[in-house]
């Protein structure tokens, strides 16, 4: 119990912060209510500090916890200024002008920041998960607050429609991967990931993996495709990203996706990367499934992004494509365990999640910093045309961020994408590397289209925009663009940390010597 408690100190600090925010956010004094963001930032800083010494000695990836929780805290801090002013702006203005009085029932600030912190708490718990039940609860704690955040993020009906779509498809995804978890439990007799891994290893050495176990793993992976917005569970992404406020869309692009990939890495670690006939890889059915999903996700995301005129929808389909890129690293696996960042697919995925999270904040922050006459945030390509002439700092931020998402050297995103290429080449996945290269070229079209609109095209005379009233969002855009460049100075250290975090302790069949052996784990056809 003491060991478990040591793992969740960051989450405990975030929970305490959440309780404080829920009380402070209900104060009738606006100056007190505005402290919610600062208190949330303080809680995240403390959580990052608490995560540094944490390691999970009994897990399949014992060093993944401090890296993942530190990454979550850093990106969470970058998201906070972008979320400023998302809720209660109309209420605060009405109160200030004397047209309304404060009502706790009408105020959403406390709940909004609490849901944000709850979602990050669930994401951190996902990084600590060593059991299927824990993993399921952590994934749901990550997702459930985001349904409400999407719904209340704007004053129009579009966000409500997006929230309903997101909720029902999220429920479907949760039901699918939970059913997969049930099949895995039925095939191994345990919910502990290390024991599941040992059971699968014993079955493999005895002549073949349990069919129910493989089916359960496949079903769970398909369900988790919802979290990462991968084919065939990607349909919601464009509508939800466009319907939600830009700050919430930026959060959706990182938080559920990171939770999904952490879960996928742990499930693939449970079955292992040592069952291939020609080289170390995942079991054939799982390998084929992930291969098809990765290729289909890359092509679907990029080809649909080309057809969009909404920047939010472009970024939504871009998010789909990036999930396909990262699945390439999952397929490549952790390598020999004695290599470098460049031949370690799991390390490449972990580093890519960080680069994507940091960079993605800037693109949405630029949109959130521009306002239309009706009070809505910028969305269409036409809204950012000629941005360099009117707001050069925002145009520069957008340029750096989209080029980093493209993987243009020498920006941060370039090193993330190269890691995926080199690890896949090291694993012998040449056809998948070709697919990855083709899709990176396709993505250049719509990323450069955004850059061209901001820098090279004149402003559309029929489109009127103005600076948004929330300076924190401009700060988020500049901070993200600066990080794309400044993090290059510590990129080597971050890569080394990601390699350490990806350290995979392959199970031994002897680990299955538990009471669960009464289920005869070596049966291949039950």
Per-residue pLDDT tens digits for 152-208: 998 878 899 999 999 999 999 999 999 999 999 999 999 999 999 999 988 888 877
Tokens of 357: 């999270």
- Which residues are CB-contacts of 163 (< 8 A; sequence separation ≥ 6)? 147, 148, 150, 151, 152, 240, 243, 244
Beta bridge partners of 131: 192
> Greater confidence, 336 or 245?
245
CB contact at 8 A, 297 and 290: no
Whole-number mean pLDDT of the chain? 89
d(CA 157, CA 475): 28
Is a pLDDT exceeding 50 seen at residue 522? no
Alpha-carbon gap, residue 415 to 164, rounded angstroms: 37
Rounded Cα–Cα distance for residues 145 and 108 (Å):
13
Q: Are 143 and 174 in contact (CB under 8 A)?
A: yes
Asked whether residue 526 carries a pLDDT value surpassing 50, the answer given is no
Share of the chain above pLDDT 90, in %: 72
Mean pLDDT across 1-27: 88
Mean pLDDT of 283-294: 94
Mean pLDDT of 351-375: 94
**Helix, strand, or coil here: 429?**
coil
Coil, strand or helix at 293: helix
Looking at residue 1, its pLDDT comes to: 57
For residue 331, give the 3-state DSSP assignment: helix
Residues 521, 189: contact at Cβ < 8 Å? Answer: yes
pLDDT at 2: 62
Cβ neighbours for 202, distance < 8 A, ≥ 6 positions apart: 509, 512, 521, 522
Q: What share of the chain is helix, strand, coil (3-state, %, to 5)?
A: 75, 0, 25
Helical H segments across 154-192, by residue range: 157-188
pTM recorded for the entire structure: 0.93
The token pair at 204 is 């493999």
């Amino acid at each position: 119990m003491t060991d478990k408690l040591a793992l969740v100190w960051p989450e405990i600090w975030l929970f305490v912060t959440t309780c404080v925010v829920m009380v402070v956010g209900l104060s009738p004094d606006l100056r007190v209510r505005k402290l919610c963001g600062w208190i949330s930032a303080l809680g995240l800083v403390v959580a990052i500090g608490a995560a540094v010494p944490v390691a999970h000695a009994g897990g399949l990836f014992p060093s993944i916890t401090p890296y993942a929780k530190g990454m979550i805290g850093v990106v969470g801090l970058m998201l906070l200024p972008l979320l400023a002013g998302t809720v209660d702006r109309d209420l605060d203005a009405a109160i200030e002008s004397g047209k309304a009085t404060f009502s706790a029932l009408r105020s959403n600030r406390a709940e909004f920041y609490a849901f944000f912190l709850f979602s990050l708490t669930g994401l951190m718990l996902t990084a600590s998960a060593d059991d299927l039940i824990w993993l399921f609860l952590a994934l749901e704690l990550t997702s459930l607050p985001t349904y409400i955040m999407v719904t209340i993020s704007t004053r129009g009906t579009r966000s409500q429609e997006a929230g309903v779509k997101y909720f029902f498809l999220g429920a479907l995804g949760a039901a699918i991967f939970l059913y997969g978890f049930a099949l895995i439990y039925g095939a191994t007799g345990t919910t502990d990931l290390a024991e599941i891994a040992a059971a699968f290893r014993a079955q493999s050495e005895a002549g073949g993996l349990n069919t129910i176990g493989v089916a359960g793993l496949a079903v769970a992976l398909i369900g988790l495709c919802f979290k990462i917005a991968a084919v065939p569970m990607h349909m919601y992404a464009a509508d939800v990203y466009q319907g939600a406020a830009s700050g919430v869309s930026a959060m959706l692009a990182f938080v559920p996706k990171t939770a999904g990939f952490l879960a996928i890495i742990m499930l693939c670690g449970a079955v292992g990367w040592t069952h291939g006939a020609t080289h170390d890889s995942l079991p054939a059915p799982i390998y084929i499934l992930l291969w098809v999903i990765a290729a289909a996700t890359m092509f679907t995301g990029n080809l649909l992004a080309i057809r969009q005129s909404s920047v939010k929808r472009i970024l939504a389909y871009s998010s789909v494509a990036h999930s396909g890129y990262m699945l390439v690293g999952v397929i490549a696996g952790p390598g020999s365990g004695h290599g470098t960042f460049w031949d370690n697919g799991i390390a490449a995925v972990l580093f890519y999640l960080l680069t994507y999270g940091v960079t993605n904040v800037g693109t949405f922050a630029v949109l959130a910093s521009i306002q239309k006459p009706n009070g809505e945030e910028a969305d269409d390509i036409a809204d950012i045309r000629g941005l360099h002439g009117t707001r050069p700092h925002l145009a520069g931020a957008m340029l750096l961020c989209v080029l980093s998402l493209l993987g243009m050297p020498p920006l941060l995103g370039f090193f993330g994408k190269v890691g995926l290429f080199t690890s896949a080449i090291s694993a012998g996945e040449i056809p998948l590397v070709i697919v990855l290269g083709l899709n990176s070229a396709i993505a250049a079209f719509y990323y450069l289209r955004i850059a061209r609109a901001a820098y090279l095209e004149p402003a559309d005379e029929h489109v009127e925009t103005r600076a948004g009233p929330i300076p924190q969002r401009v700060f988020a855009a500049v901070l993200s663009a600066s990080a794309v460049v400044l993090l290059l100075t510590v990129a080597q250290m971050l890569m080394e940390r990601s390699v350490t975090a990806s350290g995979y302790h392959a199970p031994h069949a002897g680990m299955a010597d538990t009471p669960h052996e009464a289920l005869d784990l070596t049966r291949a056809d039950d």
